[in-house]
Amino acid sequence: VPALNKLAQAAGLKYFGTATDNPELPNAEYSQYLFGYAPQLFGQVTPANSQKWDATEPEQNVFNYTGGDAIIQPALNHSMIARCHNLNWYNQNPEWLTSGTWDNATLISILQNHIANVVGHYKGQCYAWDVVNEALNDNGTYRSDLWYDTIGPAFIPIAFQAAAAADPNAKLYYNDYNIESPGAKSTAAQQLVSSLKAQGIRIDGVGLQSHFIGGETPTLDSQVANMQAFTALGVEVAVTELDVRVSTPATDAEIAQQATDYATTAQACVNVEGCVGLTVWDFDDQYSWVPGTFPGYGAADLFDANFTAKPAVASIAQVFQSA
Ligand code: G3I
């Protein structure tokens, strides 16, 4: 197995990492790849679900860190860094939060209390926090959701301020999809960064999720230009949820194209000063989120369902080795 994290670091990045989820950890072979080969293969972990609101505050003001700790602790013990995910989202919120009718002041205090507690618990353990996740529509307007509809756009600076107060050392990120190449949504995310900075609110990074479709991924030039548009604003960028789905059953040609596509995004990050690392959204096809969400698509990860490396592993390694 190529030492993707070590090669990424030799190429100037801080890390190459993966998302994971708690139900996968008892699989001994999976854990060997995730933690046993760390920090050579993967040097960074993101919990895919267990730090989200429904997991961490299932009842109002009752906090549960069991699932998150079960990922973050072994990661730190294996000399990996953690990207922590996420503090504010429209999705995966608990019933008590989504079914309540909250006035503006109450919802703000609920948001501040959640962030103070969760970020406080993980203080010193997270390289970065995805503070606000997916707040924009594809046309660049704000998403209508429980936060925006009651608090308005101010929920975003409020969330970042609360996170900054709770952990001065964690990098604070805005994280979204369809902002990996220039366009209305990427422009809106850049305006969000500028607006936060103009208000004196700390934001340190932008996460480019990068859930791509084989053969349809943005070109190297457009990914580089897009990353540079963010870093020019004084934030770092990271590829936070990379995967490349193809129609299933996948042909050899699709898997070869996928290897090219993974390499393109790795190359973009290497090319941009201020792109700190890449995270794949889990690494083994048997645990990919893709088939459950996009029927007819899958085979999106670096390893097949039997932990055999697909061509993308070598193509990414090649990018790092050539840097
Ligand atoms: O927790 C329940 C469990 O009790 C139940 O038995 C089971 C039955 O289906 O469902 C479990 O919840 C699932 C949850 O993952 C935890 O496994 C949900 O159905 C499922 O929808 C949920 O999917 C997650 C998805 O976010 C939700 O939108 C994926 O695992 C997770 O990888 C995915 O991650 C998101 C990022 O956070 C943000 N960017 C997009 C990315 C992919 O969708």
Is 239 a residue whose pLDDT tops 90? yes
Confidence of residue 163 (pLDDT cuts 50, 70, 90): very high
Nearest CA to ligand 1 atom 34: 48
pLDDT of residue 303: 98
Using most ligand atoms within 8 A of CB, pick from 22, 49, 88, 177 the residue to mutate for ligand 1. 49
Rounded to a whole number, what is the largest CA-CA distance in the chain? 56
Could you list the residue range(s) of the whole structural domain that residue 120 is in?
Answer: 4-322
pLDDT digits (tens, 9 = 90+) for 280-307: 999 999 999 999 999 999 999 999 999 9
Using the mean position of ligand 1's atoms as its centre, give its distance from the Cα of residue 200 in Å. 34
Is 52 a residue whose pLDDT tops 90? yes
**3-class DSSP state of 180:** coil
pLDDT of residue 130: 99
Percentage of the residues of the chain whose pLDDT score is greater than 90: 100
Q: Which helix (H) or strand (E) holds 270?
A: helix 252-271
Average pLDDT over residues 309-313: 98
Q: Tell me the two tokens of residue 265.
A: 């995004």
Average pLDDT over residues 71-95: 98
Using the mean position of ligand 1's atoms as its centre, give its distance from the Cα of residue 228 in Å. 31
Q: Is residue 273 among the annotated active site residues?
A: no
Q: In Å, how far are 49, 211, 242 from 289, measured between CA atoms?
A: 11, 11, 12
The pTM assigned to this predicted structure is: 0.97
Ligand 1 binding pocket includes 49 (Cβ within 6 Å):
yes
Using most ligand atoms within 8 A of CB, pick from 46, 71, 84, 92 the residue to mutate for ligand 1. 92
CATH code, domain with 89: 3.20.20.80
Is 1 a residue whose pLDDT tops 90? no
Nearest CA to ligand 1 atom 30: 289
Ligand 1 binding pocket includes 48 (Cβ within 6 Å):
yes
pLDDT digits (tens, 9 = 90+) for 178-217: 999 999 999 999 999 999 999 999 999 999 999 999 999 9
Q: Tell me the two tokens of residue 72.
A: 């973050």
What is the total count of domains within the chain? 1
Ligand 1 binding pocket includes 287 (Cβ within 6 Å):
no
Ligand 1 binding pocket includes 4 (Cβ within 6 Å):
no
pLDDT of residue 92: 98
Is 29 a residue whose pLDDT tops 90? yes
Q: Tell me the two tokens of residue 18.
A: 């993966």
Ligand 1 binding pocket includes 240 (Cβ within 6 Å):
no
pLDDT of residue 227: 99
Is 226 a residue whose pLDDT tops 90? yes
Q: Interface pTM (ipTM) of the complex?
A: 0.93
Q: Which of 270, 264, 14, 224 shows the shortest CA–CA distance to 128?
A: 14
pLDDT digits (tens, 9 = 90+) for 106-144: 999 999 999 999 999 999 999 999 999 999 999 999 999
List CB contacts of 159: < 8 A, sequence separation 6 or more: 87, 88, 111, 115, 131, 132
Average pLDDT over residues 218-228: 98
Q: Tell me the two tokens of residue 191.
A: 């305006």
